[in-house]
Amino acid sequence: MTIDRTIASDDAANTPVAGSATKARMVGGIPVAWQRTAFFIAVVIAIALPFLVKNFTIFQLTTVMIYAIAILGLNLLTGYNGQFSLGHSTFIAIGAYTTAILMEFAGLSFYGTLPIAATICFAFGFLFGLPALRLESIYLALATFALAVATPQVLKLSPFEHWTGGVQGLLVFKPEAPFGLPLNSDQWMYFVTLAIGLGLAVCAVNLVNSRSGRAIKAIRDNPIAARAMGINISLYKTTTFGISAAYAGIAGSLSAVVVQFVAPDSFTFVLAIGLFVGLVVGGVGSITGALFGGLFLVFVPNIAEEVSKGLAGAVYGVILLLVIYLMPAGAVGLIRTAAMKLATRRR
Partner 1 sequence: MSIRSYVSLSALVLGMAFATGPASAQQYDTGATDTSIKIGNINPYSGPASAYGTIGKTIAAYFDKINAEGGINGRTIEFISYDDGYSPPKAVEQARKLVESDEVLLIFQSLGTPSNSAIHKYMNVKKVPQLFVATGATKWGDPQNFPWTMGWQPNYQSEGRIYANYILTNHPDAKIGVLYQNDDYGKDLLQGLKDGLGDKTSMIVSEVPYETSDPTIDSQIIKLKDSDADVLVNIATPKFAAQAIRKVAELDWKPVHIVNNVSQSVGGVLRPAGLENANGVLSTGYLKDPTDPQWKDDAAYKEWEAFMDEHYPDGDKSSSFTVYGLAVAQTLEQVLNQAGDNLTRENIMKQAASLDNLQLGMALPGVIINTSENDFFPFEQMQMMKFNGERWEMFGPVISGEVGG
Q: Quick one: angle between helices 289-307 and 312-326, nearest 10? A: 140
Distances from the Cα of 6 to the Cαs of 175, 213, 219, in angstroms?
Answer: 31, 14, 21
Q: Is residue 57 close enough to count as binding partner 1 by CB under 8 A?
A: yes
Query: What is the smallest separation between the CB atom of 117 and partner 1, expressed in angstroms?
Result: 17
Residue 131 half-sphere exposure toward CB, CA atoms < 13 A: 10
Query: What is the smallest separation between the CB atom of 118 and partner 1, expressed in angstroms?
Result: 20
Q: Is residue 54 close enough to count as binding partner 1 by CB under 8 A?
A: yes
Pick between residue 28 and residue 252 the one whose CB is nearest to partner 1: 252
Identify the three-state secondary structure at position 261: strand
Among 301, 320, 329, 340, binds partner 1 (CB under 8 A): 301
Would you give the distance in Å from CA 170 to the centre of its chain? Answer: 24
Among 115, 199, 313, 328, binds partner 1 (CB under 8 A): 313
| # residues near partner 1 by CB under 8 A | 34
Gap between the terminal Cα atoms of the chain: 25
Write the interaction track for partner 1 spanning residues 243-282; mark x where CB under 8 A is met and - where it is not. ------------x---xxx-xxxx-x-xx-----------
Q: Is residue 315 close enough to count as binding partner 1 by CB under 8 A?
A: no
Listed residue (340, 240, 331, 244) closest to 288, CA to CA: 331
Write the interaction track for partner 1 spanning residues 146-175; mark x where CB under 8 A is met and - where it is not. -------x--xxx-------xxxx-x----
> Which of left, alpha, beta for 147 (phi over 0: left; psi -120 to 50: alpha)?
alpha
Q: What are the φ/ψ torsions at residue 261 (nearest 5 degrees)?
A: -165, 135
Query: What is the smallest separation between the CB atom of 303 and partner 1, expressed in angstroms?
Result: 12
Footprint on this chain of partner 1 (rule: CB under 8 A) = 54-57, 59-60, 63, 153, 156-158, 166-169, 171, 255, 259-261, 263-266, 268, 270-271, 298, 301, 305, 309-310, 312-313
